[in-house]
Amino acid sequence: MDGSTPIEWKSLLRGTLLAAAATGVLLVSNAPLQCGSLSISDFGMALFAFYFALPAVALIGLPLFLILRALGWVRWWSTALAGAAGGALVTIVLQLPDAPNLRHFPWMCGVGAVAALAFWWAATRRPRRNGGAAEEAQ
């Protein structure tokens, strides 16, 4: 075996799901922010975007995080930079076979960085012990 524990896999899964949710919300929020209104259909579109973001996070974000972890470079800023690079990669892939439009890079790099920070937060959080709440109340 690789020595990993079920808690590590749960935190990676939690990070993947949270990063995909953050990506879905950010991708859908771009249009309402520009027009100044939010409609009920935007919530459905966020769920739709989540299903497209989940494979991207699993195929790009998770391996980038595991590489950073193997190198011992998991910090909030290095994770955000890796997420921005992942956002740039997604932008390039989505625009193939045409040349990438540079106009989309800042937004997608920002989305990638925020998603990576959400992943980092969820994956590096330590779960509370069972008696943690009782100990804090005293």
What is the reported pTM?
Answer: 0.80
Q: Is the per-residue pLDDT at 131 higher than 60?
A: no
CA-CA distance, 115 to 19, in Å (whole number)? Answer: 4
The answer to whether 84 touches 60, Cβ cutoff 8 Å, is no
Q: In this predicted model, what pLDDT tens digit does every residue of 67-100 receive, in sequence order?
A: 999 999 999 999 999 999 999 999 999 888 998 8
The answer to whether 38 touches 32, Cβ cutoff 8 Å, is yes
Which pLDDT belongs to residue 135?
44
More confident residue, 137 or 87: 87
Contacts of 132 by beta carbon, 8 Å cutoff, 6+ apart:
none
Percent of the chain with pLDDT over 70: 79
DSSP 3-state percent helix, strand, coil across the chain (nearest 5): 80, 0, 20
Structure tokens at 99: 């040349």
